[in-house]
Chain A
Amino acid sequence: MLRFVSFRLLQSLIALALLTVVVFVLARTTGDPLHMILPMSATEEDYANARRYLGLDRPYVEQYLSFVGRAVTGDFGTSIRARRPVSELLRERLPNSLRLAVFAMTVSLAMAFPLGVLAAVNKGNGIDRAAQVIAVLGQSLPSFWVAIILVEFVAGRWQWLPAGGSDGFTSYVLPGFTLGWFVVAGLMRLLRSGMLEVLDSEYVKLARIKGVAEYRVIWLHALKNALIPVVTFAGIYFSILVTTAIVVETVFAWPGLGRLAYDGITSRDFPVIQAVVLTTAAIVAVVNLGVDLLYAFIDPRIRYAR
């Protein structure tokens, strides 16, 4: 078990290290940031000074090493655009994004569980079809379009809910729902197919033969087994969610990492870009690690085998 965890941890670290290189190279190729921050009238000397001040005049390898060294301690340098430490920006934005992501994941799980289980139990009939339609629709609708329509109607014309912002719980509803619905389809499908397979199994048959009540057979005996594929793919769904969040945050003007990334890229603010990409990747890695642990927790065959 310990070996399994440390192996996975090492894997994540290697992946992250690879990413720092990619990010660094990409960020350096995004063009000269000084064009963006210095006024049109800036002289050659101004450029040189600014370059020295920002450390952009040193060799690339040196820049990379100092970047990694500082990144490890949480220091991502100063935002070129906001002229504030990037770590400060992250501290402001990250909690917003995490809260939204957790809310969205909760929404999608709350939708996917009943839909997937009911669809499997009612295989082939109307309930199954309806559940599948809801799920596949979520996957087929562009989230930013859903966002625009929700903002227009629910927040605008009907004034039921705020269109994002920070008015407590209600402001999470629209962006969270938009974001969550997109991944419902995948989760619901995994649950449905998992449940179908498990409901056909001998151990479910035996549970019924023992006289276990039907709700317990479905929601305990069968569901715990059907969770295994869901957990396996949860990491992938989470990274899809993170990706989609960039778009959704932009539409809802959500003060999160996605919005920060978007602003950072449009103004070639590479300390910010580096920080956001690495933070995102680190979060995905941590979630994946958590998923592995959860996986081992649910499936004793994994727990004892490794």
Chain B
Amino acid sequence: MAAEPGGGTLAPPGAVAAPARGRGRHVPWIPIGIIALFVTAAALAPLVSPGDPYAQSLRNRFKPPVWDQRGTWAHPLGTDRLGRDMLARILYGARVSLAVGALAVLLASSVGAAVGLVAGYYGGRVDAALMRITDATLSFPVILLALILAVTVGPSFLNVVIAISVILWARYARVIRGEVLTLMQLDFIAQARIAGAGAWRIITRHLAPNTLNTLVVLITLQVGYVIIVEAALSFLGAGIPPPTPAWGSMIAEGRDFVTSAWWVSFLPGLAIMLVVLAFNLLGDWLRDTLDPKLRQL
């Protein structure tokens, strides 16, 4: 019917309609720019950093940022309780956050996608068993596990990545399995079977490529969450051990001085917010563009 092209919602009583807006959201250049900026900063931290993030200078403790009248260009974002340069520490901190985010998400997504593909393809008992494990994992608080690992094996970069991935894979498994179940109903899988394709071939050649969009969207949306979890762990002292600069531990270190030196806690938090916000906005856009039915993630 002629009503379809607009596809809008039905009008409330007698709405005199405005002209339809152009559909399709614009490419989110600002989030992409922010992510690119932080990635570059993290990669080139030794080159762009104004100084050594570890260099202490007790004479220069709690120097405010440059826009404060007591601030100097020597430390554009001020210094912390040990006189270390905030800008340098934030730049180096980006390395930690982004590396944990990327590694944990890649690890979790590959394991999760594999489990989801296998469970969805074989169905039956394999599916039931894998999904029980998935459910059990989902109900386990990430932070508790990371805390346990931190005190068991000691806090370290690797442990944070492992702790997060060990829980996070379950989300991917759930979503990918759902996707595979739908795909399995379609004719092209039956056709591939009739053509004599084996399980491995169907999974890798037919199912996996068709779940790629979903995977990309989910990965983007999860990077932000992982960065927040890492920061929370570092904040609790169970993440990246000091003196390595990590945004979460920087916030924790500045916590007791918020009243007198707000920037020590505030600025790393701002950095987290910017990066996570950028990833979330990019993920939202990807989802709307690549895979609208994923709206519910």
Contact = CB atoms under 8 A, between A and B. Distances in A.
B215 interface: no
A236 B140 CA distance: 11
Nearest to B296: A229
Contacts of A280: 141, 144
Interface in A121-169: 123-124, 136-137, 139-145, 148-149, 151-152, 156-157
B277 interface: yes
B231 interface: yes
B236 A262 contact: yes
A44 interface: no
Contacts of A239: 138-139, 141
Interface residues of A, number: 65
A266 B151 contact: yes
B10 A205 contact: yes
A119 interface: no
A208 B21 CA distance: 24
B284 A136 contact: yes
B295 A243 contact: no
Contacts of B255: 148
B290 to A, nearest CB: 15
Where chain B touches its partner, the secondary structure class is helix
A199 B139 contact: no
B9 interface: yes
Contacts of B251: 142, 144-145, 148
Interface stretch (B70-78, B105-113, B264-272): B264-272
A140 B151 contact: no
A145 B231 CA distance: 10
Interface in A230-289: 232-233, 236, 239, 242-244, 246-247, 250, 261-262, 265-266, 268, 273, 276-277, 280-281, 284-285, 288
Nearest to B128: A11
B252 to A, nearest CB: 8
Contacts of B148: 26-27, 30, 265, 273
B101 interface: no
A140 B132 CA distance: 31
Interface in B151-165: 151-152
B86 interface: no
Given A31-B152, A243-B144, A266-B151, A140 B296 contact: no
B147 A142 contact: no
B259 interface: yes
Interface stretch (A14-22, A51-59, A173-181): A14-22
Contact of B144 (A11, A140, A149, A246): A246
Given A144-B232, A277-B144, A204 B10 contact: yes
Closest 4 A/B residue pairs (Cβ):
A145-B269, A193-B295, A140-B277, A15-B136
25 contacts: A18-B136, A19-B136, A19-B140, A31-B152, A123-B9, A124-B21, A136-B277, A140-B273, A142-B231, A143-B232, A149-B266, A152-B258, A152-B259, A200-B7, A205-B10, A214-B12, A233-B296, A239-B138, A244-B143, A244-B232, A246-B147, A246-B236, A250-B236, A265-B144, A266-B237
Given A144-B248, A148-B251, 11 more contacts: A27-B148, A123-B9, A140-B228, A140-B280, A157-B259, A194-B296, A199-B9, A208-B12, A244-B143, A247-B232, A265-B144
